[in-house]
Amino acid sequence: MNTIIDTNFNFPGQKDLYKGKVREVYTLENDLLLMVATDRLSAFDVVMPKGIPYKGQILNQIATKMMKDTEDLVPNWLVATPDPNVAIGKRCEPFKVEMVIRGYMSGHAAREYKAGKRMLCGVSMPEGMKENDAFPNPIITPATKAEMGDHDEDISREDIIKRGIVSKADYSVLEDYTRKLFQRGSEIAASRGLILVDTKYEFGKTADGEIVLIDEIHTPDSSRYFYAEGYKERQARGEAQKQLSKEFVRQWLIANNFQGLEGQTVPEMSDEYITTVSDRYIELYENITGEAFAKADVSNIEARIEKNVLKYLG
C-alpha cells in the first residue's frame, strides 16, 4: 500500500518548507505557497506511525472543491491544483486561532458536557441536552493554534481579543465568515443526505491585507458528518449516530487505551484496519461530493507530484 508520509522537494524558487501534522507547505517566490496533502493521520494531536492510502488526495480534492463552492461567499487562498495531492495559492499570514463551529453537541463538546461543564470557550451550553442533539443555534468555540506536537487549547472570543491574538475588527470578520461557510456547508451536506455536525476553518491575511480562507474546508479531518436518514430515530432511541468523520478513528484509539496523554503508546494499526480507514475516507469523499472517487496513480507518488508541479510552474 503505497502512501506519501514525508516530502522533501526542492522546487524552483523554493524559499522555505513548513511541516504540519498532515500538510507540508512550501513557500515559493512571488508570494505563492504550495501545499502537499500527505497520507499522514493525526488524532488527539498525535501523528500515527502509518499512512492511510489515498487520504491526502481525498482531503485535497474535497477541500479544493469546497473552496470553489464557497468562493462567492468568502475569498480564499487557492490559485491552482496541479496534482491530486497539491494545492497552490497565495501566501498568507495565518491567524493563530482555529474557528471551530458546532451545530450539534458531539465529540469534544459532548465529552466536556458529560464531565459536567456547561461553558465551552466562553459560550454556554443549555441544560438537558443529550449527546448529538442540535444546539438551538450553532456555537463558535475557537482553539489556539499549537505548534506540532502540542495540543490545541480551547479559548474564548474575549481572551483572543484581550491577549491580542486577533484584533477585534479582524475577529468580527472571522466570525462572520465562519457562520457563512458553515451555513453553506450545511446546505451542501443536506443535498447529499448528510448533516454537517461541526467543523473548523482557518484564515490568513494576504500581503495586501485581505482576510482569506486557507488550509482545508469540510474534509473528514476538519469536520464531522452524520447521515441524515434515521438521525431523529437514533436520537430518540439513545443510539449512536451513523457518522462519516475521523471520530471512528478516535473511538478506536480510545478503545485501545490511547488519547494522546503522557505515558500512553499509540496502538499498532494492522494493514486490515488501515484499509478500512482508507475505505471510510473514500466513502465520505463520494458522499460529500456526489462523485465517484478516482484513485490517482500511487506507483511513485513523489515522482508524480514533482512532474505535475514542475509542469505547472513551467
DSSP string computed for 232-281: HHHHHHTPPPPEEETHHHHHHHHHTT-SS-TT--PPPPPHHHHHHHHHHH
94-245 classified as CATH 2.60.40.10: no
Question: How far apart are alpha carbons 99 and 81 in whole angstroms?
Answer: 25
Residue 149 has pLDDT above 50, yes or no: no
- Convert the pLDDT of each residue in 161-199 to its tens digit: 999 999 999 999 999 999 999 999 999 999 999 999 999
Q: What is the pTM of this model?
A: 0.88
Give the start-to-end residue ranges of the domains of the chain. Answer: 14-92+269-313, 94-245
Same fold, 14-92+269-313 and 94-245: no
What's the rounded Cα separation, in Å, for the pair 114 and 101?
A: 19
**Cell 473511538 -> residue:** 251
Residue 273: all three cell numbers together: 484496519
Instruction: Tell which wins on pLDDT, 217 or 221.
Output: 217
130 pLDDT above the threshold of 60: yes
Rg (CA), the chain: 19
pLDDT at 148 exceeding the cut of 70: no
Sign of dihedral through CA atoms 130, 136, 137, 141?
A: negative
Q: What is the mean pLDDT of residues 123-137?
A: 98
Q: What is the CATH number of domain 14-92+269-313?
A: 3.30.200.20
> Cα separation of 244 and 224, whole Å?
6
